[in-house]
Structure 1
Amino acid sequence: MPKFEVREFITFAIVGVINTATYYGFYLAGLKGLGLAYMISHFSAVILSMIISFFLNSYVTYKVKPTLKKFLMYPLTQLVNIAVTAVLLYILVDGLHVNSSIAPLAALIVTVPVTFVVTGKVLKAA
């Protein structure tokens, strides 16, 4: 079992806050600024924030050199995260009638621990 690195988790959490703010900014820009549907805003924001997240987690959290292979694998590791977030977003907005401006924040909270483990495995791979 890999050793749990407290520094990595704390840094991951800080990068996560930055990434969440980035995602949310892009999401609101699409939703409110461009008038896009919430799902289109969501997926656009996910893609843009994922690119930023890759580099922040590579350089800051795990202190590894980003490579093309890792960059191409990174989105694949996020598929579960993206799918769960999208399903939760749909349930919150369409099922529970939560405001679409705040629903992504609640949905993202559910996926953080899984994302930490999966991200570390991919970025630390040789």
Structure 2
Amino acid sequence: MFIPHEVIRFIIVGFMNTFNYYVLYLLFFHLFGWHYMVSHVLAFIISMIGSFFMNSYFTYKTKPTWKKFFQFPLTYVVNITVTSTAIFLLVEVMKLNETISPLLASVIAIPFTFIISKKILVKDETKTS
């Protein structure tokens, strides 16, 4: 089974981004004592900025622009909706631990993030080619 290099790079960046997000989440939640959802949203925003640059340079090998930078968060509306809903359901409904739930929610959001981020980051080059 052949997996395109782009998908492999996306997975690598995804692991790095998830690690960054999770470290920030744990810092905000455990060290600062902030509510799990506040910790999630703040860690998400910070890691999204890193994700933009990692996906631009490494995954899709495209030049980051201000236009793409400001469009990129729009693609994460789906991601933050999926992860926030999943975290809420995992913590409040399924009574799972607030420390583990963000990791599970991140896995659920991976396919959505790949498709949407590729549309934003690669679309300009396909029009000019």
| TM interval, short-chain normalised | over 0.9
Aligned-pair Cα RMSD in Å: 1.2
The answer to which of 113-122 and 63-72 deviates more is: 113-122
TM-score, structure 2 as length reference = 0.93
Deviations 1:50-71, CA, capped at 9 Å, x for gaps: 0000000000000000000000
| Cα contact 2:78–2:112 (8 A) shared by 1 | no
Cα distance, 1:5 vs. partner? 7.0
**What are the within-5 Å matches in structure 2 for residues 42-81 of structure 1?**
42-81=40-79
Give the aligned length. Answer: 123
CA 1:42 to 1:34, structure 2 compared with 1: closer, same or farther past 3 Å? same
2:35: which partner in 1?
Answer: 37
1:123: which partner in 2?
Answer: 121
Q: Take 1:6 and 1:112, find their aligned partners in 2: how far apart are those partners?
A: 16
* One-letter code aligned to 1:115: T
Q: Take 2:100 and 2:54, find their aligned partners in 1: how far apart are those partners?
A: 24
How many percent of aligned residue pairs carry the same amino acid? 47
TM-score, structure 1 as length reference = 0.95
Residue segments in structure 1 that go unaligned for 5+ positions in a row: none
